[in-house]
Amino acid sequence: MKAKVSLVLNGESVSAEIEPRETLADFIREGRGLTATHLGCEHGVCGACTVEVNGLTTRSCLCLAVKADGSDVKTLEGLGSDPVMIVLKRWFHDEHALQCGFCTPGMLMTARDILSRHRAPDAGTIRKELSGQLCRCTGYANIVKAIEAAGKELAQ
């Protein structure tokens, strides 16, 4: 039995008939070809699959696509002209806040969420807020620096 899902993805209306067990992550990646949403652990631990659903950061590996029916979903691809994301990406580049880049889309989505709730957060706040995002490569220091610098710039 198939289920119909209709949602807004990065500003565009999308409808599809899918298996009811399909996750939002697979709906986005496999169904729509939006591969910035990465799949690491697939059980809610690493944060690589983080997207925004109705303004809230969400682990798309833990959310069934049918549950997102009627929602407004944003992935990194849909935030190319977002002013906060533009600043974050520049600081990630300038502070060398990535190595392999696998965690980076989820880090950026979460960083944007952090900056939406904290004005110019300090390193301690950023580390606490990032505790659900795993990175195997960087040791986190430069990611924290990049988010801190972006927060300072945006607060000016």
Nearer to ligand FES, 5 or 107 (CB): 107
**Helix, strand, or coil (residue 106):** helix
CB of 109 to ligand FES, least distance (A): 12
What is the three-state SS of 30-77?
HHHCCCCCCCCCCCCCCCCCEEEECCEEEECCCCEHHHHCCCEEECHH
Nearer to ligand FES, 99 or 120 (CB): 99
Closest CA to 120 of 87, 94, 153: 153
Nearer to ligand FES, 99 or 125 (CB): 99
CB of 62 to ligand FES, least distance (A): 6
Interface with ligand FES includes 30 (CB under 6 A)? no
| DSSP 8-state secondary structure symbol assigned to residue 78 | G
Interface with ligand FES includes 59 (CB under 6 A)? yes
Residue 22 phi/psi, 5° resolution? -65, 135
Interface with ligand FES includes 150 (CB under 6 A)? no
Nearer to ligand FES, 40 or 152 (CB): 40
Among 46, 63, 146, 149, which residue interacts with ligand FES (rule: CB under 6 A)? 46
Beta carbons of 153 and 87 less than 8 angstroms apart: yes
Beta carbons of 80 and 105 less than 8 angstroms apart: no
Among 42, 72, 82, 113, which residue interacts with ligand FES (rule: CB under 6 A)? 42
| DSSP 8-state secondary structure symbol assigned to residue 97 | -
Interface with ligand FES includes 41 (CB under 6 A)? yes
Q: Which residues on adjacent β-strands are paired with residue 4?
A: 17
Among 76, 102, 105, 111, which residue interacts with ligand FES (rule: CB under 6 A)? 102
The residues binding ligand FES (CB under 6 A) are: 39-42, 44-49, 59, 61, 98-103, 135-138
